[in-house]
Structure 1
């Protein structure tokens, strides 16, 4: 598959911008770096590998339980996926949902864990509303 000159120049500009923003390069060497990047892009377009479809670690239907969620990336089971995705896979929940074709309302937390957190939050909120000794915002000790 060939690539047009315009597409190659656009890819070269994007690649070069990324390279130069992260690597301090003397202006004298900039032309050599650009030639190296252009050569690499040409070779990459000529030797394109066929992209294979990524398969989830477990079927999507089995990724949700009452008290667990299974990561489709690695197959680990946990109560909440959000921090795991960020730390282990460098993905946001939106990126994860998009990658695996999940709906926007796909949960990132097991239903049981979500209900537990919700209950705790409601009890704390009720205590704040009914207890006159609780500081309702502002600085500690001030009314």
Structure 2
């Protein structure tokens, strides 16, 4: 049996038409037409994946690739809109930057961030001092030697009780 008359499609068509007829009044003369329409819809739905598999995504020309990279934005080949960075936009569409490059035939050095945006982020990071190794703490200056006292050092603790005359 070919795909148009497979038992599954015929059974599915019969079930759907039977359910429709049980809830709606349909003249007997319209039943063959209804069956053919429902069956035709299933056949066209089952044939759709083969047609989609044959259609390829159009690869951009080298001129289009060059034009898509501007200093302030990258023009997406998915929707044609400008973006400063493609990562979030591509993740919404279920792609990674590598998958995007492969899907549209882009070179491996195709940027994922606009040049001006990258430069401004880099300048901000340098201004904040990021990316530099930490400086070692300066050694504490040695304290000046305290002058030594010639007298006896003071005793620590509580002063002695003064003796009372008897």
The 8 Å contact of residues 101 and 110 in structure 2, kept in 1 or not, is answered as yes
> Quick one: structure 1 residues 128 and 72, their matched pair in 2 at CA, closer, same or farther if it must change by over 3 Å?
same
Give structure 1 regions of 4+ aligned residues with deviation exceeding 3 angstroms.
126-130
Q: Deviations over 1:1-37 (max 9, x none)?
A: xxxxxxxxxxxxxxxxxxxxxxxxxxxxxxxxxxxxx
1:9-88 to 2 correspondences below 5 Å: 48-49=50-51, 51-55=54-58, 59-87=64-92
Q: Tell me the equivalent position of 2:97.
A: 93
More helix, by proportion: 1
CA–CA distance in 2 between the matches of 1:75 and 1:57? Answer: 12
Q: Is there any run of 5+ residues in structure 1 with no aligned partner, and where?
A: 1-42, 133-143
What SS does the corresponding residue of 1:48 show, helix, strand or coil? helix
The 8 Å contact of residues 72 and 84 in structure 2, kept in 1 or not, is answered as yes
What SS does the corresponding residue of 2:50 show, helix, strand or coil? coil
> Quick one: structure 1 residues 106 and 126, their matched pair in 2 at CA, closer, same or farther if it must change by over 3 Å?
closer
CA–CA distance in 1 between the matches of 2:60 and 2:79? Answer: 6
> Quick one: structure 1 residues 54 and 127, their matched pair in 2 at CA, closer, same or farther if it must change by over 3 Å?
closer
TM-score w.r.t. the length of structure 1 is 0.51
The 8 Å contact of residues 74 and 86 in structure 2, kept in 1 or not, is answered as yes
What SS does the corresponding residue of 2:51 show, helix, strand or coil? coil
CA–CA distance in 2 between the matches of 1:57 and 1:64? Answer: 13
Q: Is there any run of 5+ residues in structure 2 with no aligned partner, and where?
A: 1-45, 138-166
RMSD of Structure 2 on Structure 1 (CA): 3.2
TM-score w.r.t. the length of structure 2 is 0.44
Is residue 119 from structure 1 mapped to residue 103 from structure 2 by the alignment? Answer: no
CA–CA distance in 1 between the matches of 2:51 and 2:107? Answer: 30
